[in-house]
Structure 1
Amino acid sequence: MEHSEILKKVDHTLLSQTATWAEIQAICDDAIAYGTASVCIPPSYVKRAKSYVGDRIAICTVIGFPNGYSTTPVKVFETQSALGDGADEIDMVINLGDVKDRNFDAIEEEIRMIKEVCGDKILKVIIETCLLTDGEKIKLCQIVTAAGADYIKTSTGFSTAGATFDDVALFAEHVHGGVRIKAAGGISSFADAEKFICLGADRLGTSRLVKLEKAENDPA
């Protein structure tokens, strides 16, 4: 698979706590230059980034990030605020305590409410696979499907591990209704990225691939 085809599936990501505006501008520039699907940035930078890039690249941001235990009204407000600032895509984190308590109706309702706010904007649901059993992952595939989200996403990249091949393969078996898969966290080579895509991932959350391509094109 050509690198350019892989990069079209990348959400070029910078979510570090110390991210500066100059760094956000730089990843926007690189995302445009290398044709990624979007840039994924902190909510505090969405308005400025949208003004900076216009329609040249989609702006993705995160909600309830990274722990997921904000209340549902707070997540709904965060989503409304981000969309009002110009976000094109939303990546939300579910409440993992609700998973462990088997409070699955609350998780589904929260996703449903946020998708209602998103309307035709893309909603990706982060379930943080490294903290879940396979049974919980399968159940969440069913919930994300039932709630009408657009994507199920493996990881925040801020917990104990990121995307694995096994988890993406598991998702591919158990999501339905047009729900797509985003693998995120720890994707550090084009070979791994291609394998994730072959296993069923439609999006990749990473910063490394653009850096690798940039270094290859401009080794100096």
Structure 2
Amino acid sequence: MNLTVARLTVRGLLGRRRGILLLVAPVLLLVVSLIAKNSDADQQALATDILGRLSLGTLVPLLGLVIGTGVIATEIDDGSIVYLLAKPLPRWKIITTKLAVAIGVTWLFAAVPSLLAGQIMVGTQDNLALAFTVGTLVAGAVYSAVFLLLGVVSRNAVVIGLAYALVWESLVGNFVDGARTLSIQQWGRSVAHTIATDGAITAPVALGVAVPLLIVVSLAATALATVKLAGLTLSYDE
């Protein structure tokens, strides 16, 4: 990890009021959790629904998309990436540094609010808050890797990412059981399922399938992003 690249990436990601915009969704989650806390509905069922759909199902992929593509796609689009690539830095170090920043910022704006929302609604009951927080952490890391890769390989990274998150995961995944096996959201939910007690969280994907996929996809996305970035260097040299 290169601290200079990390510092510049954080500045570019959170500067120019972007940090304030990233706060909108987490604040909305906390507001909804406060409203839910004061409702007469079953708190456990309500918390499971809110944390599963609004947090893990919506907040994490959208923030992962904005942050994961934002750490590098803007630099590629405006051409400023050439100044970074001109430095004597291994391409893998650039990618892993930007990925570390993306994961850290995603965790800050998604996992922390998820934990707080869960604590507000149900406290430590059935480990729901902890379970969804851990699910958010693992899913957020993989989303960051995949969307970072999209930011390197395509100028339409945001559109492709939205199609995956909203169409594949949210729409197709709700009607086609097999599609859930290729859903990062469901992999995170599988991890959450193992932490929650008394079957409070259901998971259509077995943990033995989810964990290897989480690892393989994140590593493959990181490796491929490194290769593509190296190819980008060659294209500029030409």
TM-score after normalising by structure 2: 0.27
Does 1 or 2 have the higher relative contact order (CA < 8 Å, sep 6+)? 2
Could you say which structure has the higher helix fraction? 2
Larger radius of gyration: 2
Could you say which structure has the higher strand fraction? 1
